[in-house]
Homo-oligomer: A and B are copies of this chain.
Amino acid sequence: QLAQLTADLFPRQILTGTRVTITAGPTREAIDPVRYISNHSSGKMGYAIAEAARDAGAEVTLISGPVNLPTPERVKRIDVVSAQDMYAASMNALIQTDIFIATAAVADFRVENSHNQKIKKQHNSSGAMTLTLVENPDIVAAVAKHSPKPFTVGFAAETQDVENYARQKIQRKGLDMIVANDVSRTDIGFNSDQNAVTVIWPEGQQPLELASKAQIARDLVTLISAHYKKAR
């Protein structure tokens, strides 16, 4: 009932006619058919933003890595696995995107030569093995360099010096806004249902204090909508 009340208070029409594309969840980078590299992203924050943007009247596309979450109603969901898949799906969505929100925890690196067969343990010598990793494409930076460029919002999950790294990212990648959170805090982030973030744009910033991811998502959508309209 409280959730319903909050939903009713939420300004429903602020994104009517706006096309929002959101990336969410982790990516998985194959080592071989059995093993992969991934990360602890649950996708909850991105899915909550998809619901909030939809409730604000936007037409929402959700490009999702492997997560255990139901598809939000009236949201177009595109499932991907690797960072390269997510890059391709994102580039493909850009011709129909006014606002791009990159919440996904995209793997920075993939395995250089992933194997078609399961790698066998070597029963010799030191028992050590090396994996060579190469950089994945930077999706949100590529989106921000695209022409025409959508209003581009990045996320920065950091464990130290959070705001400083976030401001560096906004400049280096040419973002319009970045949402920074400190994943070293155990009460928030990743698999939690709560979050606390700092929203940063070139000329200012605003903290969003500890709240449910649904509430943070609504506040974020309100902020993004205001800055998007100012930028047009």
Partner of A121, one of B34, B35, B105, B135: B135
Asked whether A147 is an interface residue with its Cβ less than 8 Å from the other chain, the reply is no
Q: Could you say which residues of chain B place their CB within 8 Å of the CB of A121? A: 108-109, 135
Q: Could you say which residues of chain B place their CB within 8 Å of the CB of A118? A: 157-160, 183
* Interface size band for A: 20 to 34
Assess the B128–A131 pair: CB atoms within 8 A.
no
CA distance A109 to B134 in the complex (A): 20
Query: Which residues from 152 to 196 on chain A have a C-beta closer than 8 Å to any C-beta of chain B?
Result: 157-160, 183-184
Asked whether A40 is an interface residue with its Cβ less than 8 Å from the other chain, the reply is yes
* A32 nearest CB neighbor, chain B only: B159
Contact with B along A34-45 (1 / 0, CB 8 A): 111111100000
Q: Could you say which residues of chain B place their CB within 8 Å of the CB of A211? A: none
Asked whether A1 is an interface residue with its Cβ less than 8 Å from the other chain, the reply is no
Assess the A133–B130 pair: CB atoms within 8 A.
yes
Assess the A132–B135 pair: CB atoms within 8 A.
no
Contact with B along A78-106 (1 / 0, CB 8 A): 00000000000000000000000000010
Asked whether A4 is an interface residue with its Cβ less than 8 Å from the other chain, the reply is no
CA distance A62 to B140 in the complex (A): 42
CA distance A109 to B33 in the complex (A): 15
A-B contact pairs, 17 of them (CB 8 A): A34-B159, A34-B183, A35-B38, A35-B107, A108-B121, A117-B160, A118-B158, A118-B183, A127-B134, A127-B135, A129-B132, A129-B134, A129-B135, A130-B130, A130-B131, A130-B132, A130-B133
